[in-house]
Amino acid sequence: MKKIIRIRNLDCAACAAELGEELGEIEGVTAASADFINQRVVLEYETEEALEKCIDTISHFEEVEIAENAPVKRERHLKETLSIAVSAACFVPALVLELLGGYDLASLLLFLAAFAAAGWSVVWNVVMNVPRAFRNGFHALVLLDENLLMTVAAAGAFAIGQNMEGAAVMLLYEIGELLQSIAVGSSRGAIARLMELRSDTAVRLTADGQEEVEADSLAAGDSILLRRGDRVPVDCRLTEGATSFDTKSLTGEAYLKEASAGDEVLAGCVNEGAAVTAEVLRPVSESAVAKILEMVENSSSKKAKPEKFITKFARIYTPVVVLAAVLVAVLPPLWQGYNFTVWLGRALNFLVVSCPCALIISVPLTYFSGVGTLARHGVLAKGAVGLDALAKVKTAAFDKTGTLTEGAFSVKAVHGDARALVLAAALEHSSSHPLAQAFEGVEAPRAAETEEIAGMGIKGVVQGKRVLVGSARLMAREGVPVEEGDGRSLFVYVAEEGNFLGSVEIEDALRGEAAEALAALKREGVERIAVLTGDSEARAREALRGLPVDELCAGLLPEEKPLRAQALRGQGALLYVGDGVNDTPVMAESDVAVAMGGLGSDAAIEASDFVLAGDSLSALPKAVKGAKRTRRIVFENIAGSIAVKIALMALSLFGFIPLWAAVFGDVGVMLLAVLNSMRMRARL
């Protein structure tokens, strides 16, 4: 069983990892993760008793509160701001009195007041961790978090007479925590803005007139009214009228999309023209908006290798540096005249600087910002793993029909006996192949005993006679001689009782953005572009004329496509873009799979790592650019944070920096890493 529990006040990535670990150790829990960015806990459990224990653990974890079904909201930070203001109001006059001299008691009391105002919540969290440690069989690592590090550092400073530094430690730490919380809250705000894609109400048309209903109550087949300014509540098809829709929130494209009767419109778009009526195609739970929200919210559960490394690193690193600080405080004085005060100060500096906040916060924040940025451009990422893989792509392979072409087939001409069109329509009406849509408007008798031959065509019985409809290969296999077309167009051949009747010429236009999208992919570092198709080579080359395609793999049967994908992977990390059920085996063989969101099948979307929400290939180069930027920023933060930390720790050991400077350096590194992460939100 699976359950998602909404929470509040989980504002620390290290605490989230710790909470997830505690929940995972509960008997009956098979998987648990705490997401401090989306403010939720995801549980997989076997018994209700295990769930109850999880809820109890969450309720007793620091300041975390359960807020079931509560949406992600932007924090106001009033409590933190007030604490910092009171602390600063005490700290400044205390500092003045200390500089003047002769007011030792007054300055001490004010410094203690500044410490209490800024650090009461930190100390309280340390106190609350003690029963948690005993509840876990005295799991000492539960106590070793940043709250304990800062409490020990501040208390130690007061103990050795460094009152100003003791208060400064907590004041600077709280300022850093506030700024960090604001930065993380800004990313949470991106989720809150995505929630605005949803429309809670809709105007349903009935025999009695209009009625305003909840969008969740709409079912397939319902008729709805879309007025000017209305956000489309569900995926639907226009039945009357013509208008234009703002699709920017879904696709990232600023232009308006014109639509008229018969056109499909995705949920989340805004009607910018005249009022129109539409038929509901899918309920809210299956709409494009639902997919966007679900994928973005679930993305943080699929962690990339750097995220997993940082989590494991912090778990080992914190107790190691605490032990190192203890050794620094105890061992050197034994050889230097038992001068414990000096080395205790250096140990405290070392302890403060060693706090791994910059890494623990900035790495997941960067990936989350990357997922959110791609979503704003119409690309839905299922997780950080996909972003990392996309950044390494060297070869891109595409399905042709419905991916590089519009996938909107229509009859261009009929050659030979005119009955060929009617017989072809009779069999194609029972087919799920994309070509079947070309015959949707053709009236034809019902076919019986139909059987599809993968990659070739379909056969069946129409009005008592055996009919074959499909490619020239099917006709050759069945021993029917045909008059083949010029090879540059798509022909569907028709035979009745073993006799060739004629052919139907089908057309499918190339996507308008395909050429620029593929060229942009190459500019982003994709070295090779291939197309995998079941069409003949001559027809595929004609259809793809003008595209920068390096390798055309034509005439492939469905079972041959995955084998070809395996060969392409030998040329570098492989990206595959497709739209149909038959693409899922190829997606499974690729390093990164991308599905077309609007036209794409549910199977293709399920098998993919990314979904193009607006079916626009122009979003694909932006996704590659965003993935590379994300990976670059992650490694900048890891390398930069570790390098600065090592330098500051060395300076602390040699006594070159005071305690307040150590705190300032620690907070500064964390803020720089977070601000660097926020660069992901810049436009691609």
Give the CATH number for residue 417: 3.40.1110.10
Question: Which residues 6+ apart lie within 8 Å of 191 measured at CB?
Answer: 38, 72, 296, 297, 372
Claim to verify: residue 26 and residue 107 sit in the same structural domain: no
Phi-psi domain of 328 (left: phi exceeds 0; alpha: psi -120 through 50; beta: other): alpha
pLDDT given for residue 665 in this prediction: 74
Residue 140 is predicted with a pLDDT of: 46
Is 201 contained in some domain? no
The reported pLDDT for the residue numbered 549 is 93
Distance in angstroms (rounded) separating the CA atoms of residues 469 and 270: 42
Burial zone of 82 (CB within 10 Å; 0-12 exposed, 13-18 middle, 19+ buried): exposed
| pLDDT computed for residue 111 by the predictor | 93
User: Do 267 and 234 meet the contact criterion of CB atoms below 8 Å apart?
Assistant: yes
- 241 is written with which tokens? 């009228």
Residues 591, 477, single domain; the answer is no
Judgement on whether residues 484 and 518 belong to the same structural domain of the protein: no
Q: Which residues are catalytic?
A: 399
- The three-class DSSP label of residue 626 is helix
Label residue 486 exposed, middle or buried (CB < 10 Å: 0-12, 13-18, 19+). exposed
Look at the chain and count its residues: 684
Q: Which of 476, 507, 538 is the last residue of a domain?
A: 507
Q: What is the domain-level CATH number for residue 528?
A: 3.40.50.1000
Q: Output the CA angle 453-456-457, nearest 5 degrees.
A: 65
d(CA 681, CA 672): 15
Give the residue numbers spanning the domain of 326. 78-192+298-368+629-681
CA dist., res. 517 & res. 617, Å (int)? 6
CA-based angle 27:32:37, to the nearest 5?
150
Orientation of helix 78-100 relative to helix 104-135, angle to 10°? 140
Q: What is the CATH number of the domain that holds 242?
A: 2.70.150.10
Q: How many domains does the chain divide into?
A: 5
Q: Within this chain, do residues 316 and 187 fall inside the same structural domain, yes or no?
A: yes
Helix or strand (DSSP H, E) at 85: helix 78-100
Residue 446 lies in a domain: yes
Give the SS3 label for residue 271: strand
Is 474 part of a structural domain of the chain?
Answer: yes
- pLDDT tens, position by position, 598-643: 544 566 666 788 888 777 888 899 999 999 999 999 899 888 888 8
Are residues 170 and 315 located together in one domain of the fold?
A: yes
Q: Is the same domain home to 548 and 572?
A: yes
Provide the token pair at 320.
Answer: 């190691």
> Same domain for 541 and 581?
yes
The pLDDT value recorded for residue 309 is 72
Q: Are 497 and 479 in contact (CB under 8 A)?
A: no
Check whether residue 252 and residue 325 sit in a common domain.
Answer: no
Widest pairwise Cα distance in the chain: 114
Give the strand pairing for 410-416 and 201-206. unpaired
- Which stretches in the chain have pLDDT values below 70? 11-14, 36-38, 62-63, 68-76, 129-145, 180, 183-197, 249-255, 288-289, 291-304, 307-308, 311, 314-315, 357-358, 485-488, 580-582, 597-606
R_g over Cα of the chain: 32
Strands of 410-416's sheet, edge to edge? 410-416, 499-507, 490-496, 465-470, 457-462, 447-453
Per DSSP, helices labelled H in 225-303 are 248-251, 288-298
User: Domain check: are 92 and 188 in the same one?
Assistant: yes
In angstroms, the CA 262 to CA 239 distance is 6
Q: Is residue 272 part of a domain?
A: yes
First-to-final CA distance of the chain:
39
Strand partners, 32: 43
Q: Which of 377, 410, 385 is nearest to 597 (CA)?
A: 377
Closest to 54 measured CA to CA, from 86, 87, 81, 29: 29
Residue 337 region by backbone torsions, left for phi larger than 0, else alpha for psi between -120 and 50, else beta: left
pLDDT at 13: 61
Region of residue 69 (phi > 0: left; psi between -120 and 50: alpha; otherwise: beta): left
Residues 6 or more apart whose Cβ sits within 8 Å of residue 364:
13, 36, 37, 300, 303, 307, 310, 384
Give the pTM: 0.69
The residue among 615, 646, 667 that closes a domain is 615
**Residue 68: per-residue pLDDT:** 58
Residues 242 and 307 both lie in one domain: no
Question: Would you state the structure tokens that stand for residue 488, as one six-digit string?
Answer: 């540059």
Distances (CA, A) of 177 to 173, 313, 319, 651: 6, 21, 22, 24
Spell out the residues 6+ positions from residue 373 whose beta carbon is closer than 8 angstroms to its own: 626, 680, 681, 682, 684
Domain boundary among 507, 533, 567: 507
Q: Where are the alpha helices (DSSP H) in 524-658?
A: 537-543, 560-569, 584-589, 602-607, 619-653
The helix or strand, by DSSP H or E, that contains position 31, with its residue range, turns out to be strand 29-35
- Tell me: do 166 and 271 sit in the same domain: no
Cα separation, 140 vs 121, whole angstroms: 21
What are the Cα distances from residue 10, in Å, to 14, 59, 76, 302, 608? Answer: 10, 11, 15, 19, 31
Helix, strand and coil in the chain, % to nearest 5: 50, 20, 30
Residue 116 placed within a domain: yes
The answer to whether residue 203 sits within a structural domain is: no
Q: What is the CATH number of the domain that holds 8?
A: 3.30.70.100
Six token digits for residue 207: 């025999």
- Would 113 be classed as within a structural domain? yes
In a domain, 214, yes or no: no
> Same domain, yes or no, for 571 and 535?
yes
**pLDDT tens digits along 38-66:** 678 888 888 889 888 888 888 877 668 78
**Chain centroid to CA 110:** 48
| 145, 318 contact by CB (below 8 A) | yes
